Structure 1
């Protein structure tokens, strides 16, 4: 079986990718800042990264940070992968990184280009936002009685487990370059997602739509982060809420 290194393997997505691959009999190494025996800060690289990479056939790069450092981490990872003779680098990106002028999206796009120019065989999958992220944002907004929602912004959340299944599938297949985007089953207004969340959580909140400004907001409003032509996800937001939120009301 293949030896696979999953970066960010303790995170929301990476943990599920690891479970899928191990379930199929592959040897999987989990790399993160705190996971032994491969506890490595990717931004710094070093001997620990080289040790984690030794004998690896495929790398699935799930590690990321909204606080910056993705490009530095990718540079260290690619250099170590080339040195170790890795045969396949798989990267998870976000739908719209080339259309939405948001700092984090720009970093993800830059990493895509680094992967493409790495000299390694590669696969890149872009997915829409996970249900988990939508709930995390709404949970933070719900700390006050009146919830302000960006006016006119749609979203297309996807089930993270389905993205993990797809990444695991790609990891054991031949390098495929940029594959088709993966979007959730429905394009919804953020307002409707908010109301569904508050209902499931048993929270009474006044939802107010407010217009914002700037290029990033206009890009989100125009659907630059959506993939309606690739609505291949099956799990709906309400189904996710029923599993994750409905049983923990008031939490």
Structure 2
């Protein structure tokens, strides 16, 4: 396999770092374009992204992308693991759409002929601003003339680890409804990173939208709780949160949002929470309108139960940042 020169966005996130490791393992030369701080001291970023060339700049600024990022050099592939931090409308359209449009334009100037985009499986049923923004860029990429792959993963392990400490400390596991309203096939960082890196050289993954989950059967929130109770040797205790309560919160914030931008943003975050409480992260069968575990492809070897076992044994919990719910 001939090594490629890769321009990577979103490298400091957990999926970005896993993708970088996979790209390096395949022998590719990677340049990471990151925010001047990216939530850390700039001095620590090169160590975080060991083995890659790190360049600092502003992905929302076309001039910075070209001047500080591509620097007039040639690249083979643009890979993006970049996503908005909150999913709020302004952030979503700035990052999930416009920043990617600017990066794509700069990449084409740099001779890039291929792009691999990390998207999300939830765009199948786009009810939220960040989903609309992601879809808008997906369309732009498909129409770009480049070789493209759009990877739509199911739930991440880090998104499903928020209640580990609740259970460890003897508190009940929170579920919406009875805990079986939704299901997912969660995928680990390294398995997803390897899948993304494989898109560079596997023709079967090119010019395709690629939904992907981790190994094993689809699992519900109630099953997740049962695993944790068993690992910590505790009697299962679930607290059911009515979906109607979320509807009420959304409604109150939406009314307040007519007068306050702050409340409007909070209303959107509440809508995001409700979405994930009621929609499965699986392939959507458009003919039936139902989610299908059987139609959701799987990859990799690490399961969510493996992750829970490691956390129960003392492994550090993943940082969930703005996407934390519990």
Match of 1:120 among 137, 146, 158: 146
Q: 2:193 corresponds to which residue?
A: 164
How far does residue 28 in structure 1 lie from its aligned partner after superposition? 0.7
Q: 1:218-244 deviations in whole A, cap 9, x for unaligned?
A: 786453x2132134133221112123x
**Contact kept in structure 1, 2:187 and 2:302, CA below 8 Å:** yes
Q: How does 1:77-92 map to 2 (within 5 A)?
A: 77-92=103-118
Matches within 5 A, 1:38-57: 38-53=55-70, 54-57=73-76
Provide the aligned length of Structure 1 versus Structure 2: 248
**What is the TM-score of this pair, normalised by structure 1?**
0.84
Q: Which moved more, 1:42-51 or 1:148-157?
A: 42-51
Task: Measure, in 1, the Cα distance between the counterparts of 2:4 and 2:316.
Answer: 44
Counterpart check, 1:207 vs 2:238: yes
Q: CA deviation at 1:204?
A: 7.7
Instruction: Pick closer, same or farther for the CA change 1:48–1:102 going to 2, 3 Å.
Output: closer
In structure 2, the residue matched to 1:61 is 80
CA contact (8 A) 1:153 1:222 kept: yes
Distance 1:162 1:80 in 2: 29
Q: Distance between the aligned counterparts of 2:296 and 2:115, measured in 1?
A: 23
What is the match of residue 7 of structure 2?
5
Q: Take 1:140 and 1:104, find their aligned partners in 2: how far apart are those partners? A: 29
How many Å separate the matches in 2 of 1:199 and 1:248?
Answer: 16
Secondary structure at the counterpart of residue 211 of structure 2? coil
Cα distance in 2 for residues equivalent to 1:141 and 1:107: 34
Distance 1:15 1:239, change over 3 A: same
Cα 1:176–1:128 shift into 2, 3 Å: same
CA contact (8 A) 1:57 1:88 kept: yes
Q: Which moved more, 1:187-196 or 1:33-42?
A: 33-42
Q: Which has the larger radius of gyration?
A: 2
2:282 aligned to which of 205, 226, 251: 226
Cα offset for 1:165?
A: 0.8
Mapped contact 1:201–1:250 kept (Cα < 8 A): no
Q: Structure 2 length as normaliser, TM-score?
A: 0.66
CA shift in 2, pair 1:194/1:170, >3 Å: same
Matched, 1:247 2:247: no
Structure 1 vs Structure 2 CA RMSD: 3.0
Greater alpha carbon shift after TM alignment, 113-122 vs 137-146? 137-146
**Cα separation, 1, equivalents of 2:59 and 2:228:** 35
Residue segments in structure 1 that go unaligned for 5+ positions in a row = none
